[in-house]
Amino acid sequence: MSLINKPGKRISIWMIIKNELVYKKFGFITGVLSLVIATSGFVGAMILLRGDTLATEQLFMEKERELRAEMLQLEDDYRIIMRNMGYNVLILNETQSISELEKEGYASTYLDYEDVWKIAESGMTTLNHLLPVLQEKIYWPEKGMEILLSGIRGQVPVYSKPAHLTDDDQYRSPIMERVPEGKADLGSEVAVPLNLRPGDIFTIRGEEFEVNRVYSRRGTRDDLSVWIPLDKAQSILNRPGKINGILALECVCSTEELGQVAREVKEVLPHAQVFEFSSLIAARADVRQRAAKLHEEILQAEMAHQMELRREKERLASVLIILLITGASVWIFVLILNNVRERKHEIGILRAIGFSRLKVLQIFLGKSALMGVVAGIIGCMTGALAGVLWSGTGLSFSGQGSLVTPPVIITGLILAPLLALTAGLLPSVLAANQDPADIIGER
């Protein structure tokens, strides 16, 4: 039963196109196939390139994550190292002569004990491990020797650094332990000659102390020091409520920030000056910066390498797509041209019985467009499938989902009909312009 015998069906250009396609299957199939290859090549290449971009982005995100984790670890390592290396900042009265400090080993001018709390509560983040100290070289009459008497209390909690503090505001890992009430810590040059050991009792200017711990030899002035609670030192030295220095740990990690601490301290304590052991800080910061720079350079080199690879792939894809499109266009052109030649007499009689040029053009362009539409759909599906299978293996599920983008599919769906129409245009125009008299009269 033909279509024409069914109710509502009428003879039309579309019916002629469809029946001719069925009649000449080989031409239609090979035409569609060539367009499918071109379209799927285009869609597949686009998806592969996108997959490559996503994979590169994923790689960089992983590398950046690794780098960030490494840098955090490095920072933590430096924090611990810096803490272990001791205080690197000394806050003094602004009238204190540094040369005199270097000469005597302790400051001769004073700060109020309350000053250390002002810094602790100021919200500064660049200082940590604040240790108020009152130091003075004195003659120890009971033992007949000079010692460096150091009055200390526990480190004052810096509230902007809660991570370092316990629940009761004590340092988890203080640089210097507090000296318990009634006790004293001794340097080796004090304890050894006097044969003092932990638990022994001694007096300094009438104040009695029990040896808490004896430090091993350090080769510094600490060996001549006796550490006692701050209030006792203030009493012995007759400096109630006074300290002559605040030791601290500067936790800035960039040499560019050297001096920033001094400015910040000045804002809190206008009558103070800051003595930074800058070379030490700078060296640490420099090492850290070098490590960060090295990581950055590795990342940049990898990125440049990936970009070069991508450019290479884009060049290859462009050449491939151009070849496929050219091949498909030539094939469609040849197919339609051959079809026009084969159907010369049909065109002649159609023109003779009243088909206008436009209607003949519609027949051939319609055939090209139909091939293009069919090929566009199949090509997009096969190209997308191949592209996803090929490039999606290294990607996450969501990454695979985002490989096929609407613009690529839309372009693929437009590309195939456009290609077919362009390639089929000239043969179709030739068909439309054939003179029916020439064809019929050639007999």
Under DSSP, is residue 104 helix (H, G, I), strand (E, B) or coil?
A: helix
Should residue 441 be labelled a site residue for other proteins when binding is judged by CB under 8 A? Answer: yes
Q: What is the rounded distance in angstroms from the CA atom of residue 34 to the CA atom of residue 214?
A: 91
Contact status, residue 233 vs residue 198, Cβ threshold 8 Å: no
List 355, 384, 409, 427, residue binding other proteins (CB under 8 A): 355
Q: For residue 96, give the DSSP letter.
A: -
Residue 335 CB, nearest approach to other proteins (Å): 16
Q: Mask 364-393, x = binds other proteins (CB under 8 A)?
A: ------------------------------
- Contacts of residue 83, defined as CB under 8 A and 6 or more positions apart, other chains included, come to 129, 173, 175, 249
Contact status, residue 327 vs residue 34, Cβ threshold 8 Å: yes
Residue 21 CB, nearest approach to other proteins (Å): 9
Q: Within the chain, what is the greatest distance between any pair of CA atoms?
A: 143
Q: Between residues 23 and 397, which has the closer beta carbon with respect to other proteins?
A: 23
Rounded to 5 degrees, φ, ψ at 148 are -100, 105
Q: What is the rounded distance in angstroms from the CA atom of residue 350 to the CA atom of residue 352?
A: 5
398-437 residues in contact with other proteins (CB under 8 A) are 435-437
Should residue 281 be labelled a site residue for other proteins when binding is judged by CB under 8 A? Answer: no
Locate tokens 């640089």: which residue?
175
Q: At what angle do helices 357-391 and 406-432 cross, to 10 degrees?
A: 150
74-111 core/surface letters (b: 16 or more CB in 10 A; e: else): beeebeeebbeeebbbbbbbeebeeeebeeeebbebbb
List 359, 378, 429, 430, residue binding other proteins (CB under 8 A): 359
List 31, 348, 387, 412, residue binding other proteins (CB under 8 A): 348
- What distances in angstroms separate CA 439 from CA 58, 257, 434, one per listed residue? 65, 93, 8
List 2, 84, 99, 216, residue binding other proteins (CB under 8 A): 2
Mark the segment that binds other proteins (CB under 8 A) among 7-15, 69-77, 130-138, 388-396: 7-15
Q: Between residues 177 and 346, which has the closer beta carbon with respect to other proteins?
A: 346
Q: Check residue 86 and give left, alpha or beta (phi > 0: left; psi -120 to 50: alpha).
A: left
Mark the segment that binds other proteins (CB under 8 A) among 5-13, 28-36, 101-109, 379-387: 5-13
Residue 426 CB, nearest approach to other proteins (Å): 21
Residue 380 CB, nearest approach to other proteins (Å): 30
Q: Between residues 103 and 443, which has the closer beta carbon with respect to other proteins?
A: 443
Should residue 354 be labelled a site residue for other proteins when binding is judged by CB under 8 A? Answer: yes
Should residue 345 be labelled a site residue for other proteins when binding is judged by CB under 8 A? Answer: yes
Locate tokens 């340097």: which residue?
187
Q: Between residues 15 and 385, which has the closer beta carbon with respect to other proteins?
A: 15
Should residue 5 be labelled a site residue for other proteins when binding is judged by CB under 8 A? Answer: yes
Residue 432 CB, nearest approach to other proteins (Å): 12
Q: Read off the tokens for 427.
A: 């043969």
Q: Between residues 72 and 440, which has the closer beta carbon with respect to other proteins?
A: 440
Q: How many residues bind other proteins (CB under 8 A)?
A: 33
In the chain, helix, strand, coil percent, each to 5? 60, 15, 25
List 346, 361, 377, 399, residue binding other proteins (CB under 8 A): 346
Which of 223, 231, 217 lies closest to 183 in space, CA to CA? 231
Q: Mask 114-133, x = binds other proteins (CB under 8 A)?
A: --------------------
Mark the segment that binds other proteins (CB under 8 A) among 19-27, 95-103, 122-130, 231-239: 19-27
CA 131 to chain centre: 38
Q: Between residues 309 and 440, which has the closer beta carbon with respect to other proteins?
A: 440
Q: Read off the tokens for 41.
A: 């090549």
Should residue 11 be labelled a site residue for other proteins when binding is judged by CB under 8 A? Answer: yes
Mark the segment that binds other proteins (CB under 8 A) among 16-24, 33-41, 137-145, 153-161: 16-24
Residues that bind other proteins (CB under 8 A): 1-2, 4-5, 10-13, 15-16, 19-20, 22-24, 345-346, 348-356, 359, 435-437, 440-441, 443
